[in-house]
Each structure stands twice: as C-alpha cells, then as structure tokens.
Chain A
Amino acid sequence: MSVSAPEGRRSGLTRNIAAKIATLPMILTALVVFLGGTIWTVVYSFTSSKLLPKLAFVGFDQYERLWGTERWIVSVKNLMIYGVCMLILSLVIGFILAALMDQKIRFENTFRTIYLYPFALSFIVTGLVWQWILNPEYGVQNVVRSLGWTSFNFDPLYNQDIVIFGILIAAVWQGTGLIMCIMLAGLRGIDEDIWKAARVDGIPMWKTYVFIVIPMMRPVFITALVLIGSAIVKVYDLVVAQTGGGPGIASEVPAKYVYQNMFYAQNLGQGFAASTMMLIPVIILVVPWAYLEFSGRRRHG
C-alpha cells in the first residue's frame, strides 16, 4: 500500500460511509455491550461493590469468598456433572437418532417433527412439565407403584443426591432434537459414493460410521460441541422452573448464583466475580473455534 493517499481517493473514514453508519448498531453492540460490558464486569469483580457498583478495589477478595461459599461450590459441581452428562448424552443420542433417520426410513418428517418440537418450547415450560411428570405423588413413581411394584423409588426432584439428573432428563428432552437435526444435516452432506465405496470394499456399517463418516463430520461435531457447551454454561431458566435450586441448595447452578447476588442479595461484587468465573470455560471453548471459523475468510473479486 502506498503511504500517501493518491489524489482523488476518499479518505479512510468517509469511504463506505453509508455502510459504516448502517452498521453503527452492530459496532456499538460489539464494542460497548459485548466487549465493554465484559471488561466492565471483570474489572468490577475485583471491587467491594455491594448495593451499587463502586471502584473500591479489594484484589481477589470476592473470589476467595466465592470459593469459600458452599452454594457456589455446589453450583459448580452441579454444572460439571450436568455438563459432562449433557455433552455425552446429546452427542450420542443426537448422532444415533440422526443415523437411524438416515436409513431411508418412511415417515421421516413425522419423526423429525416429534424429536424437534421440544426445542420450540421454553425452558420454563420444559421445567414445569418435567416437574409434573417427576412428581413422586402423582407422576412416574406413583404410576409404577400402582402397578404393583410398591417399593419403586423415583423422585429425583426431591432427592438431593440425584436432583441434577432429574434436570438432565428434561434438558436432554428439550435439546437433543436440535443436535439430531445438525447431525442429520451433516450425514446428508456426506457423499453418497462413500457409502457405495464402503459397501463395495465390504466394510461393515458400524466401521464405516466410526472410522469414515464421523471423522468426516468433524466440523459438524465441533459446531454441536460449541452449541451444547455454551448452552450448558447458561443453564438457568430450567432450574428455576423445575426445582428453584432445591431441594435445599442441591440443584443450584452458577447462573442462578449470579442472578441471586446481583438482583436479590445486593452483593454485586460476588455476582461479578461469579460471572467472571463463568466466562472462563466459554473463552477456553469458544475463542479458538470462533477464530478458526470466522477470521481469515475473504472473498476475492
């Protein structure tokens, strides 16, 4: 590039001026809300803000308190159990369903409609339905007992030890349809000839899936992984609706801890510190992916 702009060339700022004005909302959102807001929260997590944010720095005090609070520890543990299970179940169920749907079956649209409709429902609705189904007095437990198995016990929402799995059942119900859809799109994107070649070579179907198809679907899996991952960290509404964090604090999650401290307990510093902690897994997971996906892609004339 020449250093001095040639005669007649519009200067840097006014070039493409309409596009710049038109995307002002995007620029403001990106810089002020997303970047600015995140930095703001991280900075204020090192302050002693209580009712109102104030810049009185206290170092890592908020984080020390955070990790000394049982409610937070429980939240993180819950999130990890929920996260690992959700990730594995979503990927496995989503892929198996997609693979089954890809067997040139009849009523494909009907099946897809059935698997996907929960995704259209809110977490509040999801949580409330499953709260009702898992209600020990009237729900599954009661039904099984009334069939004669009187010692049958299934009350996840009232049992501190397994309450998180009760939430998991609802989350899987709501979210796997989406993963199935993405996986199915990925499977459909695979060249028909691969299957023909594998058949001609006499490779068993499961081996074709495991060694040929799944490696070819890497981008699809990565997308699914990112989707599931970022949804896991955000889990909030579902818990509020299904258990309200209970019994006791047994099903608390980080997002709820943040909300609690920011808007109820008037303990802003704690809320900021907790939300900053939530940021870390997302950065580890998403930034490298976004960098690969969205930078360096240029259109040539």
Chain B
Amino acid sequence: MADVLNSTAMIAIEDAPAGRKPRRAVSRRNVVVYGLLLLAAFYYILPLYVMIVTSLKGMPEIRLGNIFSPPVEITFEPWVKAWAQACTGLNCDGLSRGFWNSVLITVPSVLVSIVVASVNGYALANWRFKGSDAFFTILIVGAFIPYQVMLYPMVIILRTIGIYGTLTGLIVVHTVFGMPILTLLFRNYFTSLPEELFKAARVDGAGFWGIYFHIMLPMAIPIMVVAMILQVTGIWNDFLFGVVFTKPDYYPMTVQLNNIVNSVQGVKEYNVNMAATILTGAVPLAVYFLSGRYFVRGIAAGAVKG
C-alpha cells in the first residue's frame, strides 16, 4: 500500500517541473488515501450505527430484518424500558438506578482524585525532597501492575478502615488507582511552566500553599480540564472496581448494564439492550464530542495511561 502512495507521490513530484498540467484535486494518490480512510471510518462508525438503529426498532422487526437496515417503524419504547423498567435480579427499575449511582460515584471521585493529584504534581515539580522521585517512580510503575495484583490488599485496607463496600471506599479506590496518570499529567504540566515564576513567588514570600493557590492553580485550568475529561470517562467506564468494591445497591451503570444484557433469565430484548448500551455510553460520548480538542490533548499528554 505504501508503494502505491509512494509511486503516485513521486509521479506528482516529477511532473511538477515539466508543468504540463496543473495537479488535479482527484489524483490517484488522493483516491487511495481517502478510500482507505473512509473504509476505516466505516468500521469505526458501524457499531454506533447498529446500536442506534437496533434501539429504535421493535422486537418483531429485529427478528425479521437485518441489523443494518434502518428501522421501518421508529419506536422509543426500548429506551423507556431500558431506563425505567429493565430488570437486574429482582429489581426492575431500569438503568436509571445505575445512572444515579454512577453520578454519585463519579462526581466526588473525579474531584478528590484531581485535587490530590494536582498537589502531588505540584510538589513533584517544584518542591522535590529526598525520596520524592523514588515515590513517583513506584507510582508510575504501579500504574502498569495489573489491578488484580493489588485488588485483595486493597479490600483488606478498606475493610480495616471500615469503608469497604461504601461509596467512600470506592472514591478512595478511584483516587488511588487514578493517581499515577493524573500525577504524571500535573507534574509534567507544572514542570513545563517557567521555573522563574515559582522563584519569583518565593522571593515574594509565598509558601507551599500560597504558591499553589495563588500562582499555580489559576494557571492549571487547561490541564484541569484534561484531567477532568480523563477521569470522568475513566471512572464512568469502570467495571472492575464497581464490582469488587461496592455492594449491589451501589453498582455503577456499567455493572448494571452488563447484568441486564447478560442475564440468562427471560426473553432477550435486543432493542432494549442496545438502548441501555447507548445510555451507558452516552455520558463519556457526550464528554468526548463536546471536549474534542481537549480530549485529544489529554490523551497525548497522558499517553502513559495504565
């Protein structure tokens, strides 16, 4: 494929000095490039399309038709059912419970983890002390350790403190396991700020917290947004911690979704399942589509996510 790209590109270059004809917009090279890009785009878009289409069909239509065809008769019944009536175990109050649980988990977890990590990053960038780099290295290596290794010790720690199975416990878990990537993000950001700013503030008499609140925090808004996006999507999408560290009453949306869709009882209602799936993906997708540029920047900045 690269060969094709190359030969066409070279032809274009060789043609140029001769000046026989102006370059056409639809060159062979462009056809190949856009063709491949569109082909890939098709693969990426397809599932979203199928999800939406399926969720708008009635079950009879699904059983008869094919999953790619648009709905003949649009119905929002599956959405209502997914939100308010779908069953997990004995509860039949739909995904709404999981949604509110997820909100309850995500909001404080995002805030706490960002506050803690921004202070960490600031201290690591500007107030190094003996051993600070060592702790940071452990933290970063820790980001790559499979969670399974630290799962049970974490259960014991939370149980000892007495917050196992509570919302507080889950917030702690998200703060702890989100710490490596966020700390790295903030450390790199604060390191990239001119060191002289920090020095000037010290000469002006500001201390650790003074510089953090008056100088660094107001300058950290862009990276805060990046961290926020990273954490909202990450925590909302979490499944493992939700299962391990909470009781069924607090199960986040992802866990409830899985229970609804993969439950073995009853008739499979694919349209309801897909509506539920979209509903669960809606929050991170909304964050993604609204933040666009920042999302990409967050990923590029924190390219070391574990």
Contact = CB atoms under 8 A, between A and B. Distances in A.
A133 B44 CA distance: 13
Interface string A34-55: 1111101100100000000100
Nearest to B183: A26
Contacts of A97: 37, 40
A93 B141 CA distance: 27
B207 interface: yes
B8 to A, nearest CB: 9
A279 B47 CA distance: 34
Interface centre among A22, A25, A262 (most CB of B within 10 A): A25
Contacts of A26: 116, 120, 123, 135-136, 139, 179, 183
Contacts of B43: 173
A25 B44 contact: no
Interface stretch (B73-81, B82-90, B214-222, B274-282): B274-282
A19 interface: yes
A194 B225 CA distance: 35
Chain A: interface size category: 35 or more
Contacts of A53: 152, 156
Interface residues of B, number: 105
B44 A114 contact: yes
Contacts of A25: 116, 120, 175, 179
A44 B153 CA distance: 10
A295 to B, nearest CB: 6
B136 to A, nearest CB: 7
B260 to A, nearest CB: 10
Contacts, number: 302
Contact of A111 (B41, B120, B156): B41
Interface string A108-139: 01011111111111111110111111010011
Contacts of A40: 153
A96 B33 CA distance: 10
A255 interface: yes
A115 B50 contact: no
A22 B124 CA distance: 11
Contact of A241 (B41, B45, B47, B262): B262
A126 B258 CA distance: 11
Contacts of A5: none
B210 to A, nearest CB: 10
B70 to A, nearest CB: 14
A278 interface: yes
Given A26-B120, A37-B154, A241-B262, A105 B149 contact: no
Nearest to B257: A124
14 contacts: A19-B127, A37-B149, A38-B142, A115-B40, A115-B44, A117-B44, A125-B254, A227-B303, A236-B148, A240-B258, A259-B244, A276-B149, A285-B144, A299-B195
Interface of A: 12, 15-16, 18-20, 22-23, 25-27, 29-38, 40-41, 44, 53, 93, 96-97, 99-101, 103, 105, 109, 111-126, 128-133, 135, 138-139, 142-143, 146, 173, 177-178, 181-182, 185, 199, 204-207, 209-210, 223, 226-227, 230, 233-234, 236-237, 240-241, 244, 254-255, 258-259, 262-263, 268, 271-272, 274-276, 278-279, 282, 285-287, 290-291, 293-295, 299, 301
Given A19-B123, A35-B142, A173-B44, 17 more contacts: A19-B129, A31-B138, A33-B157, A35-B138, A41-B150, A101-B37, A115-B41, A118-B44, A128-B257, A178-B299, A204-B10, A254-B148, A259-B148, A275-B146, A275-B149, A290-B137, A301-B195
